[in-house]
Amino acid sequence: MKWNGPLNKIDKYKYEIPSDYRGEQNNLKMKTSALIYADEKMISSVKNDYAPEQTANMTMLPGIVGKAMAMPDIHWGYGFPIGGVAATDVEHGVLSPGGVGFDINCGVRLLRTNLNVRDFDYNKIHLIIDEMFKNVPSGLGSKAKIRLSLSEIEDVLRLGAHWGVENNYGWDRDIKFLEEEGCLSNADLSTISQKAKHRGASQLGSLGAGNHFLEIQKVAEIFEPEIANKYGIKNIGQIVVMIHTGSRGFGHQVCTDHLRVLDQAVRKYHISLPDRQLACAPVNSIEGINYFNAMACAANFAWCNRQMIVHWVRESFERILKENSEDLEMDIVYDVCHNIAKLEEHIVDGTRRKLYVHRKGATRSFGPGRREIPLEYRDVGQPVLIPGDMGTESYLLAGTKKAEETFGSTCHGAGRVISRNEAVRKWRGEEIVNQLKNKGIYVHPASFKVAAEEAPGSYKDIRNVVDIAHGAGISKKVVRFIPLGVVKG
DNA sequence: ATGTCC
């Protein structure tokens, strides 16, 4: 599906679909224009996709505030494109599961260490990766190591990462360095189906599949030494661990359950939409509130999931290196979610307003001073974690004041350019693993199929994505990491 | 992303 509509260049990093564009559903008008963050190099892959039409569709949501926006890693998704950001009004707006995604609170967590590749026995990477693979259930349909009762999973949904820490998965001080401190307080168990609870109970503490991973990385470049230092990143060669996973089958079930309800709500509240996948409900309707409070349960599940995985990552390092993880200073740098809707305050046309901000494949990028940022980082902006593909590089960025123009949002990762099916036809998993081995990256995939699907050539150039986010000023480059070892789900 | 159609 190629985009043939207007895409006007605004500046070096922004393109606009003007509000007089009439989309496929030409009886509906855009309420505002749509803004896509891209440069000349990126724009061809943006146009070669259904995503611009989806970005235009976002502008037709009732109660949208400001422009509909898409980050540079934009690509086709359910309803919203992945990379989509839209804010809606707290009185007249809507909440849409298609603006959050199926993997609610899919996110990234970064652990630092005091280890450096310089004085590190390189084949230890191999051993730690294999140990992590053993200790963290991964792959399609991966099941939890522990069996939770229904009342325990309910505690998880209420408490998020706090449940993990209270049950000896991690340290008390971990909590402070998680977005929302790892728990949304509006979680409402009455909005969760038994089916979702059962799926959740069997999967808590698992990595999942696809682009979910555990990576051991080294610091390759430090752009902002002072900010990096605040985040605990001090030296070239310093070893860190990046974790990327979400709410597994639980979030998927929550999204599915509530999409069914909101599909009906669209008719009930006489909402006109250009695409059924944008199913939504007024923010103050029972259906809208229930979705928002169910989404919080799934977000809490994901934070607890990442918390348990952090614990097993620390244990894996301890077993191989025979050192205590506290002595290795394996503290959390930060944890971000990139599939979520949040009630936040933003300045709109000079006025402070509360808004529901949908971020779907987009990361919060709050600049200096925001109360939501832990005190330790508040004067430099929040850490923003951007994973690349398994053969290239990943980034630690800092949130900026300028990101207020995107309601405090930036990109979330590389973004696919080749579908999974196409990738499997194009590459052999064994060869991909070998090629990466020759580059000094040890990959332990759950299957060779996933290794082919996740081949670096399936993704956009992460450097191009990050350079656009940096160039546009909606986040700034702090550290670049290179992978040394990968567990792929 | 997802027990990739209960």
- The DSSP bridge pattern shows strands A34-37 and A64-75 to be parallel
Given a cut of 80, whether residue A381 has pLDDT beyond it is yes
Alpha helices in A239-340 (DSSP H): 248-268, 286-321
Q: Tell me, what's the pLDDT at A299? A: 98
> Residue A424 CA to nucleotide B4 C1', Å?
15
Instruction: Report the 10 Å Cβ neighbour count for A102.
Output: 21
Alpha helices in A160-285 (DSSP H): 161-166, 194-203, 225-230, 248-268
Instruction: Report the 10 Å Cβ neighbour count for A173.
Output: 10
A208 touches strand B (CB under 7 A): yes
Query: In the structure, what pLDDT confidence band is assigned to residue A417 with cuts at 50, 70 and 90?
Result: confident
Query: In the structure, what pLDDT confidence band is assigned to residue A120 with cuts at 50, 70 and 90?
Result: confident
Given a cut of 80, whether residue A108 has pLDDT beyond it is yes
- Measure CA to C1' and name the residue nearest B4: A140
Dihedral of CA atoms A337, A343, A348, A350 in degrees, nearest 10, equals -110
Residue A172's φ and ψ, nearest 5 degrees, are -55, -40
Query: In the structure, what pLDDT confidence band is assigned to residue A27 with cuts at 50, 70 and 90?
Result: confident
pLDDT tens across A168-223, in order? 999 999 999 999 999 999 999 999 999 999 999 999 999 999 999 999 999 999 99
A79 touches strand B (CB under 7 A): no
- Measure CA to C1' and name the residue nearest B1: A103
Q: Tell me, what's the pLDDT at A415? A: 82
**Percent of chain A at pLDDT above 90?**
94
Residue A155's φ and ψ, nearest 5 degrees, are -65, -40
Cα dihedral across residues A442, A448, A450, A451: positive or negative: positive
Tokens of A202: 């069997």
| DSSP track, A73-110 | EEE--SSSPEEEEEEEETTT-EE-GGGT-SSTT-EEEE
Given a cut of 80, whether residue A354 has pLDDT beyond it is yes
A249 touches strand B (CB under 7 A): yes
Residues 344-373 of A with CB under 7 A from strand B: none
Give the active site residues of A. Answer: 412
Identify whether the C-beta of residue A279 lies closer than 8 Å to the C-beta of residue A267. no
> Residue A37 CA to nucleotide B1 C1', Å?
24
Residue A448 in 3-state DSSP? helix
Provide mean pLDDT across the span A67-74: 97
A102 touches strand B (CB under 7 A): yes
Identify whether the C-beta of residue A365 lies closer than 8 Å to the C-beta of residue A397. yes
pLDDT tens across A391-404, in order? 999 999 999 999 99
CA–CA distance, A160 with A182 (Å, rounded to integer): 6
pLDDT tens across A124-175, in order? 999 999 999 999 999 988 899 998 999 999 999 999 999 999 999 999 999 9
Q: Tell me, what's the pLDDT at A24? A: 76
Structure letter (DSSP) for residue A236: T
A203 touches strand B (CB under 7 A): yes
> Residue A434 CA to nucleotide B5 C1', Å?
36
Contacts of residue A89, defined as CB under 8 A and 6 or more positions apart, other chains included, come to A63, A64, A65, A283, A355, A356
Query: In the structure, what pLDDT confidence band is assigned to residue A364 with cuts at 50, 70 and 90?
Result: very high
Given a cut of 90, whether residue A2 has pLDDT beyond it is no
A338 touches strand B (CB under 7 A): no
A253 touches strand B (CB under 7 A): yes
Identify whether the C-beta of residue A97 lies closer than 8 Å to the C-beta of residue A291. yes
Given a cut of 90, whether residue A280 has pLDDT beyond it is yes
> Residue A275 CA to nucleotide B4 C1', Å?
22
Identify whether the C-beta of residue A13 lies closer than 8 Å to the C-beta of residue A37. yes
Identify whether the C-beta of residue A414 lies closer than 8 Å to the C-beta of residue A390. no
Closest nucleotide to A143: CA versus each C1': B3
Closest nucleotide to A212: CA versus each C1': B1
pLDDT tens across A439-489, in order? 999 999 999 999 999 999 999 899 999 999 999 999 999 999 999 999 999
Bases of chain B below 7 A from a protein C-beta are 1-4
Q: Edge-to-edge strand order for the sheet containing A8-11?
A: A8-11, A14-17, A34-37, A64-75, A82-89, A351-360, A339-348
Q: Tell me, what's the pLDDT at A310? A: 98
> Residue A103 CA to nucleotide B4 C1', Å?
14
A260 touches strand B (CB under 7 A): no
> Residue A246 CA to nucleotide B1 C1', Å?
9
A141 touches strand B (CB under 7 A): yes
Given a cut of 90, whether residue A72 has pLDDT beyond it is yes
Closest nucleotide to A256: CA versus each C1': B2
A252 touches strand B (CB under 7 A): yes
A210 touches strand B (CB under 7 A): yes
Alpha helices in A400-461 (DSSP H): 420-426, 429-438, 448-453
Given a cut of 80, whether residue A292 has pLDDT beyond it is yes
> Residue A346 CA to nucleotide B1 C1', Å?
30
Identify whether the C-beta of residue A18 lies closer than 8 Å to the C-beta of residue A8. yes
A126 touches strand B (CB under 7 A): no
CA–CA distance, A7 with A46 (Å, rounded to integer): 10
Structure letter (DSSP) for residue A140: T
Residue A25: is it exposed, middle or buried by C-beta count within 10 angstroms (0-12/13-18/19+)? Answer: middle
Measured in whole angstroms, how far is the alpha carbon of residue A216 from the centre of its chain? 19
The partner residues of A339 in beta bridges, in order of sequence, read A360
Q: Tell me, what's the pLDDT at A113? A: 98
> Residue A281 CA to nucleotide B6 C1', Å?
27
Residues 156-195 of A with CB under 7 A from strand B: 195
Tokens of A101: 């995604």
Helix (H) or strand (E) holding A37: strand A34-37
Task: Note the residue count of chain A.
Answer: 489
Closest nucleotide to A416: CA versus each C1': B1
Identify whether the C-beta of residue A474 lies closer than 8 Å to the C-beta of residue A406. yes
CA–CA distance, A25 with A372 (Å, rounded to integer): 39
CA separation (Å) from A411 to A294, A359, A415?
A: 25, 10, 9
Given a cut of 90, whether residue A26 has pLDDT beyond it is no
Tokens of A383: 């850490």
Query: Which residue matches tokens 């909440």?
Result: A95
Average pLDDT, chain A: 96
Q: Tell me, what's the pLDDT at A251? A: 98
> Residue A427 CA to nucleotide B2 C1', Å?
23
Query: Which residue matches tokens 């900026």?
Result: A400
